Amino acid sequence: MAHRKQPPSFCYSRTDPSPRFDSLDIACNKKLCGVILLLLGVSNLQQIEPRKPKVPCYFIFGDSLVDPGNNNELSTSAKSNYPPYGIDFPHGSTGRFSNGRTAPDFFAQYLGFENIIPPFTTAKGEEILQGVNYASGSAGIRDETGTKLGINIGLNKQLENYNITISFIVSILKAKDSATKYLNQYLYSVGMGSNDYINNYFKPGYSTSTKFIPEQYATILIEQYSQQLTTLYSSGARKVALGGLGPMGCTPDAVASHETYGKLCVEEMNNAVRIFNDKLKQLVDELHEKFKDAKFIFLDNFGGLIKHISILGTNYKITGCCEVVKETGQCVPNTAPCRNSNLFIFFDSFHPSEAANPVTATSQITSLHCLFDTNGFGYS
């Protein structure tokens, strides 16, 4: 029996930041070093100007880390379509939970798309052939996750919305076979699970933390996630990048509301993240083996940021750039943020600033090549 050729080891690497970061003299002032690392990530991606898209289409599933405005018209406190959000974004306060661009915006720029990937709620006509973003603030793998904040679009519903998009693509291309061919070449980015901890497991009012220890809870999440990703595969996805969870124990909200015991971050929360990420890496291997005609990769959202945060040292105070509403950790509407947002890792109590997002993005680009042919990106 022929064995399936395995992709290069870096496709499954537990990604560290790009080597150019490691070459810096860490003996310099720690806070300054951290800032330099963030700005290097921004400038590196801003210099990339490919002439044509490296992939035909880019679909995005996720939560507030990548939500471009799908929550704007929902009855929920998890929305950010007001200043100071978007203060550094060309289109203003679109509903992104940041002062500027999010990781998908940087990815889209790298991939060569002239326009940002539109949210599902406003995507129309032939623009959907270049991609759609289905992400929703406070959403999770579990349907009840984040619902104490109001209505959101959980992953199950995002998958339903994706199927609506498929029907439009079939209509535009005039043939289901043509649509299937295109879907097989598209890039799918899925990043879920953060809210299943922040707005579920570690949130008062939810019973999951009293029913399950972290190991059990992660297993339950991964089992449901596996079913959802199988549904995505059945709907045409063949090149899927799965984002691991970031260091949620290092957010301003976490360090302000939990005991850190002399450490920079809340280790209880980060340990739960590590358990989930380890199981997600195992799931990637299982999906890769189960679906021979598809490629799944794990993208590390933990290692890069945790390393940069650690460089800042224990004397560094993790805070956001804007004044926040205590109950939600989001920016107080229409208030002035800090003057130097590019020096902050976080914009509010949960979400990265525009300066921090490229740190994650640059460390993942190499892995994205593994989803396509051996020469990198390409499509017919």
Instruction: Give me the pLDDT at residue 54, please.
Output: 86
Whose CA is closest to 339, among 318, 352, 355, 322?
A: 322
Banded pLDDT at 38 (limits 50, 70, 90): very low
The answer to whether residue 35 scores a pLDDT higher than 60 is: no
The whole-angstrom separation of Cα 101 and Cα 356 is 10
DSSP string, 67-113: -SSTTTTSSBS----STTTTTTSTT--SS-SSSS--HHHHHHHHHT-
Tell me how far apart the terminal alpha carbons of the chain are, to the nearest angstrom: 30
* Percent of the chain predicted with pLDDT > 70: 83
Task: Give the pLDDT band of residue 316 (cuts 50, 70, 90).
Answer: low
pLDDT of 202-244, one tens digit each?
999 999 999 999 999 999 999 999 999 999 999 999 999 999 9
Q: Is 308 a catalytic residue?
A: no
Which pLDDT band, with edges at 50, 70 and 90, does 2 fall under?
very low
Q: What is the mean pLDDT of the chain?
A: 85
Q: What is the pLDDT of residues 161-215, one digit of tens each?
A: 999 999 999 999 887 777 888 899 999 999 999 999 999 999 999 999 999 999 9
Q: Is 351 a catalytic residue?
A: yes
For the segment 114-150, what is each residue's pLDDT rounded down to a tens digit? 999 999 999 999 999 999 999 999 999 999 999 999 9
- Which is the catalytic residue, given 308, 348, 363, 367? 348
- Our answer to whether residue 196 is catalytic in this structure is no
Q: In what order do the strands lie in the sheet with 239-243?
A: 131-133, 58-62, 187-191, 239-243, 295-299
Q: Say which CATH superfamily domain 9-371 falls into.
A: SGNH hydrolase (3.40.50.1110)
The Cα–Cα gap between 98 and 86 comes to 6
Active-site hit among 93, 351, 353, 367: 351
Note whether 180 and 236 are within 8 A (CB).
yes
Task: Identify the active-site residue in 18, 64, 98, 367.
Answer: 64
Q: Domain map of the chain by residue range?
A: 9-371
Tens-place pLDDT, residues 260-275: 998 889 999 999 999 9
